[in-house]
Structure 1
Amino acid sequence: MKVLLVNYSDSDGGAARASFRLLKALQKIGVDVQLLVVDKKTNNKGVVEIGGIGSRVLIKFISRLENFLSRVLFDNNQFITLNFINSYIVNRKIRSIKPDILHLHWYARGMLSVDDISKLKFKTVITLHDNNFFTGGCHIKSGCNKYIEDCKSCPYITRNKKIFSLLFKRKLIRQKKIDPYIVALSEWMKNELQKVDLIKKEKIYEILNPLDTNEFSPINKDEAKRIVGKEGKKIILFGACNPQDKNKGFDLLIKAIKRIENQFDDLELFVFGDTKEEFFQKQPFNVNIIGKLHDDIALRVYYSAADVMIVPSLQETLPQSATEALSCGTPVVGFENTGLTSLVNHKVNGFLAKHGDCDELSYGIQFVLNNNIENKLNIESRALSKEKFTDTVVAKEYLSMYENILSD
């Protein structure tokens, strides 16, 4: 069996990290697997670049052209990817590899159009890292269900709504030809897909992202706090690729902390990711800015130093910051009705607040800080990670899915 994973990058962004980790997990159990990317940063021999510099330049040009047309035609105020311009480059490369299983992850930014995919006659799996596949183009639908009605009255564009709806209908016609198997990374995403007529329910698999829980294992908490220079402090940790993204909920976290800061005289908030210092300087109390962490060892230290990891996203398919934190034995606090429900057992290894409720989020932080008796929350966090998303365990689930698909 030859498996080909496809993602724009092998390191930049959540889907990139997830697909690269899946590559390594499948390699561990002996699967013949490659990861096809436009932007290669790692030295793993299983990662294959699309082609020469000319091919990569053309793909990036298509991405910029689509973004330009989207802004000009629709004046959209939300991140929308239309994926309607064919590049043929990736399509040809996939045909030359001739995989038994074609497993697509994040293929936007000029990499593959819906037309491109519909012309590929391979057994196709698509992992849904966000909502783009079944919406008019939104990656985060922000509670909007207009895609059920062909996006006829999209709230995120201000002109040419009929053209946008026609493009969406065209997309649906092409996607029916693909008829893919779908990986829903969480119970929340699987439930969302029940509303989508496009996807055959019997072709949906719910499988988590894999994680090497040996690489992400706990460091002694006192030692980790000493390393980050905050001995004896209670550390709240928040992180995202783009912490300023409103969907990530940093504003809700600030409100939640303000409600409890007087109850603790030793609180420290750390933030990692692609941070803009001026954004955090405007906050009502000091924020320790870590910046973008480029290696898993540093991440492991900060996760281990933290007393609680906060993931207050309003929508999240399966937050890798949560899986990484749990694997390092750090409990997680976030909202219900997100992918966190597949990771957090309420009041066992974290806390699930009512969706968007700052008061409950605040209470959840208090609960973890005040109720981690004999490190029970830490122990449960680590135990769940080893049980549910250790890389070799998850890799075997993917292998079983691939085998089922080939025999279908």
Structure 2
Amino acid sequence: MKVLHINTFDTGGAAKSCLRLHQGLLEQNIDSKVMVLYKYSHLEQVYDFLPDYQQTLFKRIEGSFLYRRNKVIKSLKNKIYPGKVQSSPHTIYNILKHPLTQQADIIHLHWVARFLDYDSFFSVVNKPVVWTLHDMNPILGGYHYETDMLGMRPYDELEEVKNIKIKKKALQKVSNVSVVSPSYWLYQKSLQSALLGNFSNYYIPYGVDTNKFKPADKKKAREYFSLPQENKILLFIADSLTDPRKGYSYLVEALKQIDLRDTLLCTIGKGNIPPVDFPLKHLGYIASENELSLAFAAADIFITTSIEDNLPNTVLESLACGTPVVGFRIGGIPDMVIEGETGLLASPKNISELAERMQWLLKNAKERNEMGKKGRKLVEEKFTISTQADQYRNLYNLITVHK
């Protein structure tokens, strides 16, 4: 069985989940490959969609005066009419013409915005397709989350309606698509959607490498990052710390309401965050999973304040490291953070509740430790890479038998 995973990038949260599944399948002797539009890593079995000479050409175009001028114009428009950028269902790439796609028995789509051309792909594809949803873009028009649609401009609404029509027309041409959602929240959203609700839908959570993300000596972990041994440490991680959907501002407001004596907030991610009037140490952007594991081990509590999210890898990684989680009760977070067992949850955007949950867990060391142990146990039982690979292998077998 030859499986080809397709993702736009080989970095980022969706890429991380895709690559973990890929590794899990390889360990089960399944012929798995990954094809991306933008490759930044040197991982084996990860292939560029474009050959080197075409990549060079595209880079020349991107560096041209015309390209830069258009970027400036687009930036000015967004300053005058601020709004989220949409991903068009039209691209210039015909994925099905690539040799790897032609050789595959199963085409496994992941985060394919700005890569997948709906018309050329769904009008021709005659192989089983598995589509893992990493956000809401496949069930929306051009946006990636419903929160992105708040305050849409008039022409944004027209663009969203147009994109939905394009997607719906293309998807009506196929029946051999199996949709997988990593969170129960997104599974329900997909089932109810006009675009993917008529396909077979499945719920398969992400897996995390429990050999990399595991409990470690807190003292040594703090020494590694030069963190104080005597303080309680809160950890916040986001790829972009300034992304409003990740909710860093809610965390800042909640921290103003609690006693932070002997408490330090550590942040990891890209972007400049404004100064705060409480102890904070920014650890920069960390790509190494071994270093991330140490950061989770160094913390007493991991905080996630996303206002809309699928199944964040950071929450799984924290639990795998034995660090309990406090956050909002949104999206796929309750799949992982079991109230009072592996962490504590507050009502969405409720700053006072969030502050109360953090304060209580900071004051109760025994309960923190117990939640940490239960979090690790939950990951070992439900969220390992091997468990995820088993479930996908069963799905692959099912759809190839009935194709």
1:386 is matched with 380
1:227 is matched with 224
Q: Distance in 1 between matches of 2:56 and 2:161?
A: 30
Q: 1:162 to 1:231 in 2, by over 3 A?
A: closer
1:5 is matched with 5
Pick aligned residue for 2:137 from 120, 132, 136: 132
Matches within 5 A, 1:98-247: 98-109=103-114, 111-118=115-122, 119-142=124-147, 155-159=151-155, 161-162=157-158, 164-179=160-175, 180-200=177-197, 203-228=200-225, 229-247=227-245
1:92 is matched with 97
Amino acid at match of 2:245: N
Identity, % of aligned positions: 28
How many angstroms does 1:286 deviate by?
3.5
1:196-226 Cα offsets, whole Å, 9 max, x none, are 1322466111111121101111111233223
Q: Distance in 2 between matches of 1:257 and 1:298?
A: 26
How many angstroms does 1:94 deviate by?
5.3
Amino acid at match of 1:18: S
1:150 is matched with none
- Contact 1:331/1:350 (8 A) holds in 2: yes
Q: 1:352 to 1:294 in 2, by over 3 A?
A: same
1:272 is matched with 268
Q: Distance in 1 between matches of 2:4 and 2:203?
A: 20
Secondary structure at 1:166's aligned position in 2?
helix
- Contact 1:75/1:158 (8 A) holds in 2: no
2:328 paired with 1:322: no
Give TM-score scaled by structure 1 length: 0.88
Matches within 5 A, 1:17-32: 17-32=16-31
Matches within 5 A, 1:350-369: 350-369=343-362
How many angstroms does 1:161 deviate by?
4.4
How many angstroms does 1:67 deviate by?
8.2
Q: Give the length in aligned residue pairs.
A: 390
Q: 1:29 to 1:160 in 2, by over 3 A?
A: closer
How many angstroms does 1:96 deviate by?
5.1
Q: Distance in 2 between matches of 1:70 and 1:140?
A: 21
Matches within 5 A, 1:41-80: 41-56=40-55, 77-80=83-86
1:371 is matched with 364
Q: 1:307 to 1:39 in 2, by over 3 A?
A: same
Bigger CA drift: 245-254 or 48-57?
Answer: 48-57
How many angstroms does 1:371 deviate by?
2.9
1:238-283 Cα offsets, whole Å, 9 max, x none, are 01111110000000001111110xx24111001101132xx333x2
Secondary structure at 2:32's aligned position in 1?
strand
Q: Give unpaired runs (5+ residues) of structure 1.
A: 145-153
Secondary structure at 1:259's aligned position in 2?
coil
Q: Distance in 1 between matches of 2:101 and 2:337?
A: 42
Q: Distance in 2 between matches of 1:21 and 1:403?
A: 20
Secondary structure at 2:39's aligned position in 1?
coil
Give TM-score scaled by structure 2 length: 0.89
Secondary structure at 1:8's aligned position in 2?
strand
- Contact 2:311/2:332 (8 A) holds in 1: yes
Q: 1:358 to 1:178 in 2, by over 3 A?
A: farther
Matches within 5 A, 1:33-48: 33-48=32-47
Secondary structure at 2:256's aligned position in 1?
helix
- Superposition RMSD in Å: 2.6
Secondary structure at 2:192's aligned position in 1?
coil
Q: Which runs of 4+ in 1 moved over 6 A?
A: 58-62, 64-74
Q: Distance in 2 between matches of 1:300 and 1:85?
A: 37
1:344 is matched with 337
How many angstroms does 1:75 deviate by?
5.8
Secondary structure at 2:98's aligned position in 1?
helix
Q: 1:338 to 1:166 in 2, by over 3 A?
A: closer
Q: Give unpaired runs (5+ residues) of structure 2.
A: none
Secondary structure at 2:338's aligned position in 1?
coil
Q: Distance in 1 between matches of 2:156 and 2:200?
A: 34
Q: 1:177 to 1:300 in 2, by over 3 A?
A: same
